[in-house]
Amino acid sequence: MKIERTRRGARIVGADDVVLSEILAKPGATDTLFDVLAACVAALAHGTRCAILGFAGGGMIAPLRAMGFDAPVTAVDLSRAGEPLFRELSDSWAGDVALEEDDAAVWLKRRRTRYDVIVDDLSVHVDGSTIKPYVSLDPLPDLIRSRLHSKGIAIINVLPLPGTPWSQLLARVAWPHERATVIELVEYENRIVIAGDALATAAELSRRVRAALRAIGSNQAGLLAFRTLPVQERGRPRR
């Protein structure tokens, strides 16, 4: 992990040059994937209880606060290495952001809170690449579903996993939920899955997420495509 200072703050970069966090010195758009994750929370959550699995340096917080989501945020990460930089740049305006150092699955299993939104932004560095950890495929989908309100939503930042087709990755993170929509991004190979039992249509999700992005001037508003993940593509995975 390395830190690069920028005109607007700093970024945390992984060993393979993947940006793990874009940290700003004031609320606003990062013009990155973090804006899209934040917009999904700010525009789609039916309430204010928010948990983030995978914090790094809190790259979602600047766009999230700029979009007007000012509720407390609880986050968990295996490492606090990025927290000092986040506190240095963002503490004066970030509001209530609590970070706990723990394994995401163990932490979520212990929780008794029912959340309105849970974001899985977990990643690991393996053999020179940043990939999705296996815990995001099993047991996290079940755990996330069990910790959501009836109208709660899961937001999963899905990265490639060598040897696993995209169709299987998307199915495995979305399968416990009644409905799921996939966001494809022009500038990233990542996919974002929005899943829940009371999810709006892909067209409605697109309208609301793009509006949140445009409200803070993020260039990501015009660089997205939304599609429904059909039920037949989300059967319970065989283990």
Q: What does the pLDDT look like over 160-185, one tens digit per residue?
A: 888 889 999 999 999 999 999 999 99
Cα–Cα distance between 59 and 23 in angstroms, integer? 5
**pLDDT tens column, 96-123:** 999 999 999 999 999 989 999 999 999 9
Mean pLDDT of 70-86: 96
Amino acid identity of residue 168, one-letter, is Q
> Partners of 181 in the beta sheet?
194, 228
Number of domains in the chain: 1
The yes-or-no verdict on residue 131 having pLDDT over 50 is yes
Domain that includes residue 132, residue range = 27-233
Nearest C-alpha neighbor of 98 from the set 72, 124, 134 = 72
Domain assignment of residue 119, yes or no: yes
Provide the mean pLDDT of the chain.
94
**pLDDT value for 17:** 86
Cα–Cα distance between 18 and 16 in angstroms, integer? 6
Domain assignment of residue 133, yes or no: yes
Domain assignment of residue 77, yes or no: yes
**pLDDT value for 53:** 98
**pLDDT tens column, 175-234:** 999 999 999 999 999 999 999 999 999 999 999 999 999 999 999 999 999 999 986 555
Domain assignment of residue 4, yes or no: no
Cα–Cα distance between 24 and 176 in angstroms, integer? 35
Mean pLDDT of 133-152: 95
Domain assignment of residue 22, yes or no: no
**Residue 83: both structure tokens together:** 């927290």
Confidence of residue 238 (pLDDT cuts 50, 70, 90): very low
- Residue 151 vs residues 82, 91, 102, 109, 114: alpha-carbon distances, Å: 32, 31, 27, 20, 11
**Residue 106: both structure tokens together:** 């163990």
The yes-or-no verdict on residue 32 having pLDDT over 70 is yes
Residue of 77 and 16 predicted with greater confidence: 77
Cα–Cα distance between 156 and 154 in angstroms, integer? 6
Domain assignment of residue 98, yes or no: yes
**pLDDT value for 52:** 98
Q: Percentage of the chain surpassing pLDDT 70? A: 96
H helices present in 67-133, as ranges: 83-90, 104-110
Nearest C-alpha neighbor of 171 from the set 237, 239, 238 = 237
Domain assignment of residue 44, yes or no: yes
Q: What does pTM read for this prediction?
A: 0.95
Residues with Cβ within 8 Å of residue 62, at least 6 apart in sequence: 9, 22, 23, 24, 26, 27, 28, 29, 30, 34, 90
Domain assignment of residue 11, yes or no: no
Confidence of residue 235 (pLDDT cuts 50, 70, 90): low
Cα–Cα distance between 36 and 205 in angstroms, integer? 12
**pLDDT value for 239:** 43
Report the CATH number at residue 141. Answer: 3.40.50.150
